[in-house]
Structure 1
Amino acid sequence: MANKTTKDSKITSPLDDLSATPRNPRGVAMGAAFLMAMAAVGPGFLTQTATFTGQMGANFGFAILICIIFDIIVQMNVWRIIVVSGKKAQVIANDIFPGLGYFLSFLVGLGGLFFNIGNVGGAGLGLNVLFGISPENGAVIAAALAILIFVVKNALTVMDRTVQVLAFVKVAILVYIIFIMAVPYHEAVQHTFLPTKIDFYSIVTIVGGTVGGYISFSGGHRLIEGGLRGKQNIKYVNEGALTGIGIASVIRVLLFLAGLAVVVAGNQLDPTNPAASIFKIAAGNFGYKFFGILLFAAGMTSILGSTFTSTSFLDYAVGSQKGTFAKYRKVLILSFIIVSTVIFYFIGNPAKVLVFVGAANGFVLPISLAILLIAGSSAKIIGTYKHPKWLTYSGWLVVLFMAYASLKTVIGLF
């Protein structure tokens, strides 16, 4: 790479400008952890989990287990390689092969846009449950709130705090629902580890909807934005990734158990809003209102995560360089949210959208993870850092499995 000097900095190698550590690295790591976790358990996850639990019962626990295992492998690989390189994923991809970063940006950005249509729809549905306003008008209100968070001073800090508060709301509501229900724990554990039926479409969808697409990059890009770069920050990467995975996994398991309790009792879930059925059946109208809060919280956190990460893929600056992205960032964020909201306003039907985009992002995962794994073996990109072999090998297993499962899913559609 040719040496370059800019007004802001002098970059003499791909790994220069990585020695600085932000004043509060643990705070940055926790911000990334919650952003990733809440993006992973948004309206799409609520809808997908309820839908497949209704169809498969306790056997869907196996898909949840695979999702958690894949989450650990994917996030640990992606976060480490991004932070050690000091570059965002699209820049890394261009270093591997010129133009590859633009292709990756297109895949992630398009998937993020589709997901955000469901996110604003989910938040709108939450307000519909709570206040009776139309989901479309609720989506407009949610979009306006998200825009307000992004345009205020210290937007990243405000985003982090908002996501953390909404995460607490999510967990508290799910714990309450589990507490008042008769959950078939024995059946759940048995079929999770010894399923009598394995459905590849459900695995591709739930993994794609909670690990694939923009979600696998949300934490890593938040760390870069917060100033965590270089191998000396690996311990904060580990703390952030494992915390985020832990939070997301708890919410995944709680929602699955709640849905299973309702299904095992012989209840049928409403296909137009299966997640709402779980709460209404479990706790009547009171539970239904709780679901409205949960869905609104899930929608808002996912709007923030999807918008932040998808638009970050338009930034091709290296190190502390300031590109045109910084100048137009707020305009891009505004446009991303508005376009998503307008599309939802005229299309509607978020339940079907959320299941479809989860499956679509399942196809993106093996491509994006393969790119990062190749980068993890390149000294040009990661310098003297030695990426753990167990992460490399397990990462390639995820790539192969998701590629196989995705192809099998497509073949099964014909």
Structure 2
Amino acid sequence: MLAPMTTKNTKDTADTVASTDINGKKHSKRSIAMGAAFLMAMAAVGPGFLTQTATFTGQMGANFGFAILICIVVDIIVQMNIWRIIVVSGKRAQVIANEVFPGLGYVLSFLVALGGLFFNIGNVGGAGLGLNVLFGISPENGAVIAAALAIIVLVVKNALTVMDRTVQILAVVKVAILVYIISVMAVPYQTAVIHSFMPTQINFYSIVTIVGGTVGGYISFSGGHRLIEGGLKGKENIKYINEGSLTGIGIASLIRIMLFLAGLAVVTTGYKLDPTNPAASIFKYAAGNFGYKFFGILLFAAGMTSTLGSTFTSTSFLDYAISTKGQNKYLKYRSWLIVAFIVISTVIFYSIGSPAKVLVVVGALNGFVLPIALAILLAAAVKRKIVGDYKHPKTLIYLGWLVVAFMAFASIETFINLF
């Protein structure tokens, strides 16, 4: 006679239940959730992330900590809302948007894919610049190598698994490098904490930009769409939604805080960061040429992970399939869409060169997209035809609309101050 299953065994079994992805492969639900978490976090932590954080730390000093604090709170609210609505409905964001109002999904796809394309120019360029720092090859040739590697990862057999593993390995590399840099610097922790909670200067442009660079545009949907492709659908998977979204936000926030502290340690000595490459200045000051080589590794890792995240998510916005037949048709052409997206990004990088300023501006533009995208999904959260009998927590709805209002206000304030 078989012994009755214990509570612990039941829990373990639930955590390892397999889910079938769109390619028919089976994965444990927890591995899918962690894959989504790392994809979201590493899509956010790209060359633009490094440039934005270093730029604003140089301009605002310890006061930038307040912007980071606001960003973390907004990130949690945004991701908890968007991931839940996407997974519970079992549909991609653009399909949901079309059901909220016919044609709205095409507008959302255009905004997200266009922002993703512009970000990807910086992503492949950043990876190319990383190889330039490490090996002395031209940034353009480095971008071609990085683009080729990204294409291989995204179109090989079992691409979702390969992408997840690549992103996780590169995440460990990023954290390890930043831990080392902070360990060799005199970081003013007390000043950072005080100004994070009691700033003497508030810059809405910095808030809009880093929120846009962390959960704006394609980034806010990368985790949710990864869960859908992994086969996680329905309200019974909320546990994994929570684990994945909070883990992703935690990783991205940890890396931003470490980079901020490293930059602050440099700025408080009176050293001026190089405006053409502010992030590189931090590493060069901290550890000389050795630190600069470390920066090359970090920049390459950041460029690669964001290229994978941007390409995966942006091309997923071209999938409007609501049936198996439609899904198979999309999968037939997906590899070509991926190749085209990366090739176009790389060609444009050749034309415009180093995109440091573009990365900051595009972060702000993605911040403008966020209130629009979040408002669409919040509207969907109360439509029974989209989410069925699922009841979205009222707290998340209220906080979500508060973020929509705040980001809309901050975006308008930023736009006015730019002119």
TM superposition score category, shorter chain reference: over 0.9
Question: In structure 2, how many angstroms separate the alpha carbons of the residues matched to 1:325 and 1:353?
Answer: 32
State whether structure 2 residue 42 is matched by structure 1 residue 51.
no
Question: In structure 1, how many angstroms separate the alpha carbons of the residues matched to 2:37 and 2:323?
Answer: 22
Structure 2 residue matching 1:322: 3-state secondary structure: helix
The match for 1:365 is 370
Closer, same or farther in 2 for the Cα pair 1:70/1:407, shift >3 Å? same
Deviation at 1:353, TM superposition (A): 1.3
Out of 131, 149, 154, the residue aligned to residue 150 of structure 1 is 154
Deviation at 1:321, TM superposition (A): 4.5
Question: In structure 1, how many angstroms separate the alpha carbons of the residues matched to 2:62 and 2:368?
Answer: 25
State whether structure 2 residue 381 is matched by structure 1 residue 376.
yes
Question: In structure 2, how many angstroms separate the alpha carbons of the residues matched to 1:218 and 1:257?
Answer: 27
How much is the aligned-residue C-alpha RMSD, in angstroms? 1.1
Would you say the 8 A contact 1:21–1:233 is kept in 2?
no
| Structure 2 unmatched ranges of 5 or more | 1-16, 21-26
The 5 Å alignment of 1:107-256 reads 107-256=111-260
State whether structure 2 residue 352 is matched by structure 1 residue 328.
no
State whether structure 2 residue 396 is matched by structure 1 residue 391.
yes
Question: In structure 2, how many angstroms separate the alpha carbons of the residues matched to 1:325 and 1:21?
Answer: 21
Would you say the 8 A contact 2:18–2:28 is kept in 1?
no
The 5 Å alignment of 1:332-347 reads 332-347=337-352
The match for 2:406 is 401
The match for 1:5 is none
Would you say the 8 A contact 2:381–2:387 is kept in 1?
yes
- Residues 284-329 of structure 1, C-alpha deviations (whole Å, 9 max, x = no match): 0000000000000000000000000000000001254434321100
Deviation at 1:21, TM superposition (A): 4.0
The match for 1:7 is none
Deviation at 1:256, TM superposition (A): 0.5
Question: In structure 2, how many angstroms separate the alpha carbons of the residues matched to 1:209 and 1:348?
Answer: 21
- Provide the identity percentage: 80
Would you say the 8 A contact 1:86–1:319 is kept in 2?
no
The match for 1:412 is 417
Closer, same or farther in 2 for the Cα pair 1:321/1:25, shift >3 Å? farther
The 5 Å alignment of 1:63-74 reads 63-74=67-78
Out of 313, 317, 325, the residue aligned to residue 317 of structure 2 is 313
The match for 2:98 is 94
Question: In structure 2, how many angstroms separate the alpha carbons of the residues matched to 1:58 and 1:128?
Answer: 31
The amino acid of 2:249's aligned partner reads: I
Would you say the 8 A contact 2:208–2:410 is kept in 1?
yes
State whether structure 2 residue 356 is matched by structure 1 residue 351.
yes
Would you say the 8 A contact 1:20–1:229 is kept in 2?
no
The match for 2:300 is 296
- Residues 23-63 of structure 1, C-alpha deviations (whole Å, 9 max, x = no match): 41101000000000001111111000000000000000011
Question: In structure 2, how many angstroms separate the alpha carbons of the residues matched to 1:265 and 1:392?
Answer: 44
Question: In structure 1, how many angstroms separate the alpha carbons of the residues matched to 2:324 and 2:298?
Answer: 38
Structure 2 residue matching 1:365: 3-state secondary structure: helix
Deviation at 1:67, TM superposition (A): 0.8
Closer, same or farther in 2 for the Cα pair 1:292/1:409, shift >3 Å? same
Would you say the 8 A contact 1:21–1:229 is kept in 2?
no
- Residues 98-137 of structure 1, C-alpha deviations (whole Å, 9 max, x = no match): 1000000000000000000010111011111101111111
The amino acid of 2:173's aligned partner reads: V
The match for 1:10 is none
Q: TM-score, structure 2 length as denominator?
A: 0.93
The match for 2:107 is 103
The amino acid of 1:185's aligned partner reads: Y
Q: TM-score, structure 1 length as denominator?
A: 0.94
Question: In structure 2, how many angstroms separate the alpha carbons of the residues matched to 1:355 and 1:20?
Answer: 40
Question: In structure 1, how many angstroms separate the alpha carbons of the residues matched to 2:347 and 2:101?
Answer: 36
The amino acid of 1:59's aligned partner reads: N
Question: In structure 2, how many angstroms separate the alpha carbons of the residues matched to 1:321 and 1:375?
Answer: 25
The match for 1:30 is 34
Question: In structure 1, how many angstroms separate the alpha carbons of the residues matched to 2:257 and 2:325?
Answer: 42
Corresponding pairs, count? 396
Question: In structure 1, how many angstroms separate the alpha carbons of the residues matched to 2:98 and 2:18?
Answer: 24
Would you say the 8 A contact 2:155–2:335 is kept in 1?
yes
